[in-house]
Amino acid sequence: MSNRIYLLTEGVHDVAFLAKLLKLSLGLEHVSKEAGLDPVWKRILPTKWPHDGSLRPAVPAPIFYRAPSSGTTVAVVNSQGISELARKLETHRKALALDGVNLDAVGVVLDADSQETPQQRFTRMADSIAANGYPRPAVMGGVAGQPRTGVFVLPGGGLPGTLEDLLLECAAVAYPKLRTHSEQFVDGLDRAAPEFMSGELKDLSAPAGRHKAVVAAMSAILKPGRPVQATIEDNRWIASSTVVLPRIAALVEFLSALTTAPHATTTPLPPIDLTGP
């Protein structure tokens, strides 16, 4: 029996992080060849360049995972920014409807880093899910309805933040010395130095700027010359020692409920406390 899951997120780093969790924690396999792809997903594959009128060299495409022992397939979709989440969902919903495809679950994972509170982000996305004809998620981080729907706001627990909050929690376990050195490098920067022109450190000064800079510094050591998503994919940010961290475990539980895929490990997870930092 087919079990088709649509998982929407903001950017390439989020896609890499979620993909690693699907693989390591839930035992799903990456679909790397078109021959292995469930044909229903072909409707949401890019078919031309320029894509959406943009001359960017890379065309954003979903990545796909499947459970080897069941009919579950997951499309992990990069919306290319929080402002595009609702539009991407509507576009893909209409494309799939051309073939009469009924999704079994629709999930969204997004950040809450600046302009809106986590609850506001959740409410706006839950409304968009309902506007597309799916059951409206009632609780942040919960999964319910038929088809199943849910919205998880990173880093979890109703607290503001981004994916980098979770990456740094993982780094404290997997790469504690590298994290410390990277923090010292970022925090030791003289932001008032005359070499910096006005506005050049704007991104660093943003609410999530420091954490993003620390993660990027770590990535520069682990994967010199490669983008951050490469180190998320290849290094030990997500590992058996980090998936048991409370906020990572909460996200795994969300993905498990959304996909109905059981945990790949038989080791019980510790109780999840979402109230802490």
The 10s digit of each residue's pLDDT in 201-214 is 999 999 999 999 99
Q: What is the mean pLDDT of residues 173-188?
A: 98
- Enter the tokens of residue 16: 């890499």
Percent over 70 (pLDDT), the chain: 91
Q: What is the mean pLDDT of residues 50-60?
A: 66
CA distance 157 to 232: 23
- Name the pLDDT band for 277 (thresholds 50, 70, 90): very low
Query: Would the pLDDT of 114 be above 50?
Result: yes
- Find the length of the chain: 277
CA separation, residue 2 to residues 5, 71, 157, 252 (Å): 10, 4, 32, 21
Percent over 90 (pLDDT), the chain: 82
Give residue 68's pLDDT.
87
- Name the pLDDT band for 264 (thresholds 50, 70, 90): confident
* Cβ atoms 211, 221 nearer than 8 A: no
Query: Would the pLDDT of 173 be above 90?
Result: yes
- Amino acid code (one letter) for 250: A
- Enter the tokens of residue 136: 């409206």
CA dihedral 262, 271, 159, 176 (to 10 degrees): -90
Query: Would the pLDDT of 153 be above 80?
Result: yes
The 10s digit of each residue's pLDDT in 6-40 is 999 999 999 999 999 999 999 999 999 999 999 99
- Enter the tokens of residue 208: 């999530």
- Name the pLDDT band for 267 (thresholds 50, 70, 90): very low
CA distance 210 to 183: 9
